Amino acid sequence: MVLPPSVSQQLNGYELSTYGRPYQKRIWCIRYVVCTVPERGGPVDGKTEQSAATNRPLRRDAELNRRRIIDAGREVFAVRGLQATLNDVAHHAGLGVGTVYRRFPDKQALAEAVFVDELDDLAAMARRALDDRDAFAALAGFLRNALARAADNRGLRELMRLGEFGEGGIARARLGITAHCARLMERARAQGTLRDDVTEADLAPIVAMVDAVMALPEERSSAQWHRYLEIVLDGLRARPPRAS
């Protein structure tokens, strides 16, 4: 193998300073220097290497493992919520913990892969609700549909009501949902159908209240959360002043 002059100079410098067992020392130096030689076009830093690794197409077995991890994460988060760990996901997927961490360095990265499309769909649902002339009916319909979609997914409900993961696609989708609902509420107040003291800040507590009912034993929660949501929605309606 022919090395560039700069590499040869570095090797010569190492060779002159060797002692003890020079043959092994020279081999170690060659490995070190060759690994740190900049590629053509300039130095490669850690971020560039990481970006290249991310964009590089996965081998078939690596892609299969990635899909197994995402599917396992979807199932684990749905049952246990966001308190589940990557170790839990690895065990459920039947893979080593190291395999999971190589694809997803932390729980937020896996949650992005699992939930961002779901939350984007909810944001699109809230945006479509703006087309309804009756703003209160549109808001109520969105809450019914969104909560029905999350009824069997604890992790999704937690993302809807908690400020977890303050950046990335999840945060962007949550901001979109909140913004669309804020516009619906503003229009409903202007139409006189929503109480004046109700704002978008009340959405997370409303979801949390319904979530508490969904967390009841299965034979009770599936039948009751609809009922309690309707009670909450009825409480949000504006009432004409009573005649004195």
Choice between 19 and 127, residue whose per-residue pLDDT is larger: 127
Choice between 50 and 181, residue whose per-residue pLDDT is larger: 181
Domains 60-105 and 115-236 share a fold: no
Report how far residue 160's alpha carbon sits from residue 84's, in angstroms, rounded to the nearest whole number: 17
- Is 0.85 topped by the overall pTM? no
Q: What share of the chain is helix, strand, coil (3-state, %, to 5)?
A: 75, 0, 25
| In the block, residue with structure tokens 């809450």 | 143
Q: What is the rounded (10 degree) CA torsion for 157, 158, 163, 168?
A: -70
pLDDT at 239: 85
pLDDT at 31: 38
pLDDT per residue as tens digits for the range 94-129: 999 999 999 999 999 999 999 999 999 999 999 999
Contacts of 140 (CB under 8 A, 6+ apart): 233
Q: What is the residue extent of each domain of the chain?
A: 5-47, 60-105, 115-236
115-236, what's its fold? Answer: Tetracycline Repressor; domain 2 (1.10.357)
pLDDT at 59: 79
60-105, what's its fold? Answer: Arc Repressor Mutant, subunit A (1.10.10)
| Mean pLDDT, range 36-56, rounded to an integer | 46
